[in-house]
Amino acid sequence: MRGAFARWTAGHVNLKNRVDRSNMAQKNLLMVGAGLSGAVIGRKLAEAGHKVTIVDARDHIAGNCHTERDADSGVMVHVYGPHIFHTDDTEVWDYVNRFQTFMPYKNRVKTTSGGQVFSLPVNLHTINQFFNKTMRPDEAHAFITQEQADTSIEDPQTFEEQAMRFVGKDLYEAFFKGYTMKQWGCHPSELPASILKRLPVRFNYDDNYFFHKYQGMPENGYTDMVAGILEHENITVHLSTSFDRSQTADYDHVFYSGQLDGYYGYDLGRLGYRTLDFERFTYDGDYQGCAVMNYGEVDVPYTRITEHKHFSPWESHEGSVCYKEFSRECGAEDIPYYPIRLMDEKDMLQDYVKRAGAEQKVTFVGRLGTYRYLDMDVTIREALDTADVFLNATEADPMP
């Protein structure tokens, strides 16, 4: 049955923001969450003269983008998993560069499968190595499309169909099937094609994981960048402070980047997430020679190993800090990472979204507040736009 795989793919969850226009003076605003969403919205509203309080349940700022230096080796660690900045949005790129120097960084991912190391995303090197050939681009294209791909699949709906249609069974089974089962906890025939469409197949030797015009890594880490965003006289940050809905009464408006279902005490049920466990280990030297090594086979229990020092190639460190990454179903006490958005959650999600849209004083933002996977650049774009909507609605005069 097709319905089983169809995750709910409607794009933007439009949580309408109804702003009280009665008082045009300085507003007393609360941001729940000191991640990119709360920081960027808070900064823009603070610059417009509003008083901004930010609370975060964690003991650090920057949310899931948080980076910190390892005490022993000095390596900058991406605490909640690898984060690479990539965007086509010039305004967003200019915005992040206002608060941090971005160093050139291209994400070049490798994968281990069948006792060999291959290059990702699937490119001419991957294809030639895997099939033990020396094909030119046009030969490889003809080989994949005529001898590997299942061209009888006209309009791939599932992850598996997408893979069979564009790379064929052999590459699918080596690189995607096992990894995806580990990552998502279900068979690729139950997942939508859209997940795999994020990855290109290239018939040249370009192994850059992303297409975007601007790519880079913040010189002193994301947390330092977010600290710069939060550095404003109208912003006060309280860490290790959980939001309680009763606090809403104390503010003119609340921007909430916590879990949408969490705001309502999960009273309609819990929206599904995958969580990650990281097994940290150190190494004296260079452990794997690259930042990210994926593991395509299902019998290797982790999806990938991240060696953090390779995210800062302009730095030099003797020691190394690595994370083995394990994906599993998110329990009540776990950190939610990837929204699953399965079809059977659609009604529950819509009910939460409806309630959220009816809130007068609360705007739901960010990856948790809108229950969507958002890259950092999209998060920042939406945060800037959300602040603009609020400012237009309140007709606040920007202050110098």
Among 30, 32, 92, 362, binds ligand FAD (CB under 6 A): 32
Which range in 92-100, 195-203, 343-351, 381-389 contacts ligand UDP by CB under 6 A? 195-203
- For the CB of residue 99, give the shortest distance to ligand UDP in the complex, in Å: 24
Catalytic (active site) residue 43 = no
How many residues are given for the chain?
A: 400
Nearest approach, Cβ of residue 336 and ligand FAD (Å) = 8
The rounded distance, in Å, linking the Cα atoms of 162 and 154 is 10
Task: Tell me the closest approach of the beta carbon of residue 318 to ligand FAD, in angstroms.
Answer: 26
Q: By C-alpha distance, which of 380, 375, 379, 366 is closest to 212?
A: 375
Minimum distance from residue 392 beta carbon to ligand FAD (Å): 22
106-135 footprint of ligand UDP as x/- string (CB under 6 A): -----x--------x---------------
Residue type, 186: C
Q: Phi, psi at residue 77, to the nearest 5°? A: -105, 135
Q: What does each C-alpha distance from 5 to 158, 169, 192, 346 come to in angstroms?
A: 7, 19, 6, 13
- 198 catalytic residue (yes or no): yes
32 binds, options ligand FAD, ligand UDP, none, Cβ within 5 to 8 A by partner type: ligand FAD
Residue 170 tokens read as 């052999």
* Residue 304 appears among annotated catalytic residues: yes
Omega of the bond leading into 121 within 30 degrees of 0 (cis)? yes
**Least gap, CB of 120 to ligand UDP (angstroms):** 6
CA pair distance 129, 114, nearest whole angstrom: 12
Of the residues 62, 140, 144, 195, which one makes contact with ligand UDP according to CB under 6 A = 195
Question: What is the Cα–Cα distance from 307 to 96, expressed in whole angstroms?
Answer: 24
* Whether 95 is catalytic: no
Cα–Cα distance for residue pair 30/185, rounded to 1 Å = 37
Q: Which residues within the stretch 226-245 sit at the binding site for ligand FAD (CB under 6 A)?
A: 242-243
The entry of ligand FAD, ligand UDP, none near residue 84 (CB within 5 to 8 angstroms by kind) is: ligand FAD
Which of 84, 140, 199, 226 is the binder for ligand UDP (CB under 6 A)? 199
58 is catalytic: no
| Binding site partner of 217, from ligand UDP, ligand FAD, none, Cβ cut-off 5-8 A by kind | none
- Per CB under 6 A, which of residues 164..183 are in contact with ligand UDP? 175-176, 179-180, 183
**Contact predicate 176/294, CB 8 Å:** no
The residue sitting closest to ligand UDP, measured at its beta carbon, is 179
Is there a catalytic annotation at residue 375? yes
Question: Closest CB to ligand UDP among 66 and 304?
Answer: 304
Burial 312-348 (b: 16+ CB within 10 A, else e): beeeebeebbbbbbebeebeeeeebbbbbbbbebeee
* Site of tokens 């390779």: 310
> Rounded CA gap, 168 and 163, in Å?
6
Does residue 325 carry a catalytic annotation? Answer: yes
Closest CA to 304 of 317, 315, 295, 291: 295
Q: Can you give the binding site for ligand UDP, defined by CB under 6 A?
A: 111, 120, 175-176, 179-180, 183, 195-196, 198-199, 294, 296
Q: Known catalytic residues?
A: 198, 202, 274, 304, 325, 373, 375
In the complex, the residues that contact ligand FAD under the rule CB under 6 A are: 32-38, 55-58, 63-65, 81-85, 242-243, 257-258, 337-338, 366-368, 374-377, 379
